[in-house]
Amino acid sequence: MRIVSLINLSFAAATLLAGCNGYPPPLNPSQLDQTNWKATSPYDAREFVEFKLVKAGRSLALYGHGGCHRLAGVMQISGNRITLATPLVERPIKDCVSGREYMVKRYIAAIKQGLILDNGAFYTSDGNVMFIKQKRSVKTN
């Protein structure tokens, strides 16, 4: 009886420690379905870059805008990272003048490079916080 208790205790401890490896749990598309994201520091282009993620099978569709461009793409998930599965489509918005295109390019480059989700924010691989979750819906058209 005592051996069974020790085995159960060892199994429980191993299970708990396996979850404490310092890495966030892997993502699945349902966790990010219908979430809205906006740009944040370090380049402060909040009003100029935002997107929405929508579940599309085992991937995520990305819709949004970056400065004077509409954005669309398909993101794949690997662990806690999302990367483009298809090229990012950037369509110019007619009669748009933002004056911040140089900033916007950094955020679009981050999306193209891939983003890491941790603590409710998307980071680049070098640790810059690029996008934070927002409650209001992003215009996608």
pLDDT for 24 equals: 62
d(CA 86, CA 34): 20
pTM for the whole structure: 0.74
d(CA 57, CA 29): 8
What is the 3 state secondary structure string of the chain? CHHHHHHHHHHHHHHHHHCCCCCCCCCCHHHHCCEEEEECCCCCCCCCEEEEEEEECCEEEEEEEECCEEEEEEEEEECCEEEECCCCEEEECCCCCCCCHHHHHHHHHHHHHCEEEECCEEECCCCCEEEEEECCCCCCC
pLDDT for 129 equals: 87
pLDDT for 17 equals: 43
Contact 3, 30 (CB under 8 A): no
The SS3 call for residue 64 is strand
pLDDT for 103 equals: 77
pLDDT for 88 equals: 96
pLDDT for 128 equals: 87
Task: Return averaged pLDDT per consecutive 10 residues of the chain, 141 residues in all.
Answer: 48 44 72 92 67 94 90 95 95 78 84 92 90 77 58
The structural domains of the chain, ordered by start, are 25-134 (2.40.128.270)
pLDDT for 113 equals: 94
pLDDT for 106 equals: 85
